[in-house]
Amino acid sequence: MVTPSNSREIRLAARPVGWPVATDFELVEVPMPAPGPGQVLIRNLAMSVDPAMRGRMSDAESYAPPFEIGAPMQGLAVGEVVMSDIESVRTGDLVVHGLGWREYAAVDARHTMRIDPDLAPPTAYLGVLGMPGLTAYAGLLEVAALAEGDVVFVSGAAGAVGSVAGQVARLKGAARVVGSAGSPAKVRYLTEELGFDAAFDYKDGPVAEQLRAAAPDGIDVYFDNVGGEHLEAAVGALRLHGRIAMCGGISGYNATEPAPGPRNLMRFVTHRLTMRGFLVSDHAALRSEFLREVGGWVRDGSLRYRETVVEGLENAPDALIGMMRGENVGKMVVTL
Q: Give min distance, CB of 48 to ligand NDP, in A.
A: 8
Q: Give min distance, CB of 259 to ligand NDP, in A.
A: 11
Site for ligand NDP in 294-323 (CB under 6 A): 323
The residue number whose beta carbon is nearest to ligand NDP equals 159
Position among 109, 154, 225, 242 found at the interface with ligand NDP (CB under 6 A): 225
- Draw the binding track, 268-297, toward ligand NDP (x: CB under 6 A; -: no contact): ----------xxx-----------------
Q: Give min distance, CB of 262 to ligand NDP, in A.
A: 15
Q: How far is CA 251 from CA 155, 179, 259, 325, in A?
A: 11, 16, 10, 10
Total number of residues binding ligand NDP (CB under 6 A)?
31
Task: Count other C-beta atoms under 10 Å from residue 141's C-beta.
Answer: 20
Question: With binding defined as CB under 6 A, does residue 123 bind ligand NDP?
Answer: no
CA atoms of 128 and 331, how far apart (whole Å): 8
Which residue type does 234 have?
A
C-beta closer to ligand NDP: residue 41 or 226: 226
CA atoms of 143 and 136, how far apart (whole Å): 10
Site for ligand NDP in 76-115 (CB under 6 A): none
Nearest alpha-carbon partner for 122 in 42, 46, 40:
46
Position among 221, 324, 334, 336 found at the interface with ligand NDP (CB under 6 A): 324
As to burial, measured by CB atoms within 10 angstroms (0-12 exposed, 13-18 middle, 19+ buried), residue 77 is buried
Position among 77, 109, 154, 158 found at the interface with ligand NDP (CB under 6 A): 158
| Beta strand residue intervals within 269-306, DSSP E | 274-277
CB 220 within 8 A of CB 150: yes
CA atoms of 321 and 78, how far apart (whole Å): 21
Distant-in-sequence, close-in-space partners of 57: CB < 8 Å, separation ≥ 6:
12, 15, 16, 20, 24, 66, 67, 73
C-beta closer to ligand NDP: residue 18 or 31: 18
C-beta closer to ligand NDP: residue 97 or 104: 97
C-beta closer to ligand NDP: residue 40 or 129: 129
Q: Give min distance, CB of 131 to ligand NDP, in A.
A: 6
Q: Three-state DSSP class for 117?
A: coil
C-beta closer to ligand NDP: residue 32 or 55: 55
Position among 79, 100, 159, 295 found at the interface with ligand NDP (CB under 6 A): 159
CA atoms of 36 and 288, how far apart (whole Å): 30
End-to-end Cα separation, the chain, in angstroms? 17
Site for ligand NDP in 33-52 (CB under 6 A): 50-52
In the complex, the residues that contact ligand NDP under the rule CB under 6 A are 50-52, 132, 135, 156, 158-162, 181-183, 186, 202, 225-226, 247-251, 278-280, 323-324, 326, 328, 331
